[in-house]
């Protein structure tokens, strides 16, 4: 299985693993993924081996000998077995080139379906995948066509579970995972909205827990926490430890970020806030549709009251 980036895309590929094991129980599955997201496929018990790549880092250090040593090591791993199927659900030229180095029948989307049409030239078997679907549905359809079973119509089962979070984090007994950070500023929800939300949640005996991944995100979390009593700014955590925090939350509220998809994959009640993207194609999708709410869209800024109303609905299930 080739699905390297980004965090949300990797999470969207998890139901494929569950589908394959349900239809072909004896199948052994390896997964190629970008090193920074390797914790996600490792959460799925049906993934046998995780093979990491570091394309983002390699591009910056192409002249270093260590880079080429790592690339050769990756190629040896890909060629260590003869695979019955190699499936690239990413549909990009970079992912197609990675999978092309593995030994086995290579499957991917045809040129009309792939995100980058040139990628289809590298596949031995090309499959049409309907456009206009959610990313999860497209991944599941491609795998079904490649492996020859019926395209699933069941809700997606991400197949992942986590352990309890580290007690040393000092989390409140009832908390909301406040997933405030995202890759583009245009996707952010205003800080004053987070502050209003945090203070409103206090009336429900709920406190915000705010993760972060870089200095600017930490600074935003600290500003929000300074205006919301009891708000917890988490230390920087690995994806595995952060998944444990999200998995034990009362619910998650977040902007368009991979972590909000992780919350839904962990079957937590989730409110996703969209301000610059279309949730119809990449919105939160859960096994239980009643536990999720996608608010907003391109050029929209959902109000705090709308988020609170959505939270009441998804946690009532």
**C-alpha to C-alpha distance for 138 and 16, rounded to whole angstroms:** 10
Q: What is the chain's mean pLDDT, rounded?
A: 97
The whole model's pTM is what?
0.95
Question: Which residues make beta-bridge pairs with 32?
Answer: 2, 51
Cis omega (within 30 of 0) on the bond before 6? yes
**C-alpha to C-alpha distance for 163 and 177, rounded to whole angstroms:** 16
Other Cβ atoms closer than 10 A to 80? 13
| Residues 175 and 209: beta-carbon distance below 8 Å | yes
- Residue 313 neighbours by CB under 8 Å, 6+ apart: 293
Residue 168 DSSP SS3: helix
Q: Tens digit of pLDDT for each residue in 256-284?
A: 999 999 999 999 999 999 999 989 888 99
Q: Tens digit of pLDDT for each residue in 167-205?
A: 999 999 999 999 999 989 999 999 999 999 999 999 999
- Give the pLDDT of residue 281: 83
- From the list 302, 295, 260, 297, the residue with the least C-alpha distance to 278 is 297
- Give the pLDDT of residue 282: 85
**C-alpha to C-alpha distance for 232 and 244, rounded to whole angstroms:** 16
- Give the pLDDT of residue 280: 87
H helix or E strand, kind and range, residue 109: strand 103-109
- Give the pLDDT of residue 307: 98
Torsion from C-alpha of 200, 208, 265, 303, nearest 10 degrees: 30
Q: Tens digit of pLDDT for each residue in 86-138?
A: 999 999 999 999 999 999 999 999 999 999 999 999 999 999 999 999 999 99
- Residue 52 neighbours by CB under 8 Å, 6+ apart: 32, 33, 34, 35, 38, 74
Domains and CATH numbers, the chain: 7-147 (3.40.50.2000), 167-315 (3.40.50.2000)
Q: Tens digit of pLDDT for each residue in 127-156?
A: 999 999 999 999 999 999 999 999 999 999
What's 251's DSSP letter?
A: E
**Does pLDDT of 317 surpass 90?**
no
Burial of 191 from C-beta contacts in 10 A (0-12 / 13-18 / 19+): middle
Around 20, how many Cα atoms within 13 Å sit in the side-chain half-sphere?
Answer: 24
- From the list 85, 121, 120, the residue with the least C-alpha distance to 106 is 85
> What is the C-alpha R_g of the chain?
20
Helix extents (H) in the chain:
7-12, 14-23, 39-42, 55-60, 65-78, 93-100, 135-147, 191-202, 215-226, 239-247, 258-265, 279-282, 304-315
């Amino acid at each position: 299985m080739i699905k390297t980036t980004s965090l949300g895309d990797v999470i969207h590929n998890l139901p494929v693993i569950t589908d394959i094991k349900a239809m072909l129980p004896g199948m052994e599955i390896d997964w190629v993924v970008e090193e920074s997201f390797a914790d996600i496929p490792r959460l799925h018990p049906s993934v046998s081996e995780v093979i990491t790549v570091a394309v983002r880092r390699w591009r910056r250090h192409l002249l270093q000998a260590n880079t080429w040593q790592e690339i050769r090591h990756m190629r040896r791993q890909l060629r260590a077995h003869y695979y019955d199927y190699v499936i690239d659900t990413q549909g990009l030229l970079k992912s197609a080139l990675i999978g092309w180095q593995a030994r086995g029948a290579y499957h991917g989307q045809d040129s009309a379906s792939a995100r980058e049409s040139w990628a289809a030239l590298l596949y031995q078997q090309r499959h049409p995948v309907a456009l206009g679907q959610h990313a999860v549905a497209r991944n599941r359809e491609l795998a079904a066509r490649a492996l020859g079973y019926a395209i699933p119509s069941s809700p997606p089962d991400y197949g992942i579970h986590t352990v309890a979070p580290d007690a040393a984090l000092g989390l409140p007994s009832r908390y909301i995972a406040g997933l405030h950070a995202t890759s583009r500023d245009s996707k952010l929800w205003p800080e004053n909205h987070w502050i209003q939300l945090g203070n409103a949640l206090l009336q429900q005996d709920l406190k915000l827990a705010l993760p972060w991944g870089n200095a600017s995100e930490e600074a935003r979390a600290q500003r929000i926490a300074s205006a919301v009593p009891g708000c917890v700014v988490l230390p920087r955590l690995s994806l595995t430890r952060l998944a444990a925090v999200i998995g034990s939350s009362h619910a998650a509220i977040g902007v368009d970020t991979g972590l909000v998809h992780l919350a839904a994959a962990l079957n937590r009640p989730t409110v996703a806030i969209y301000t610059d993207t279309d949730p119809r194609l990449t919105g939160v999708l859960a096994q239980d549709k009643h536990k999720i709410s996608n608010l907003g869209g391109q050029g929209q800024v959902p109000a705090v009251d709308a988020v609170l109303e959505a939270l009441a609905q998804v946690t009532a299930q």
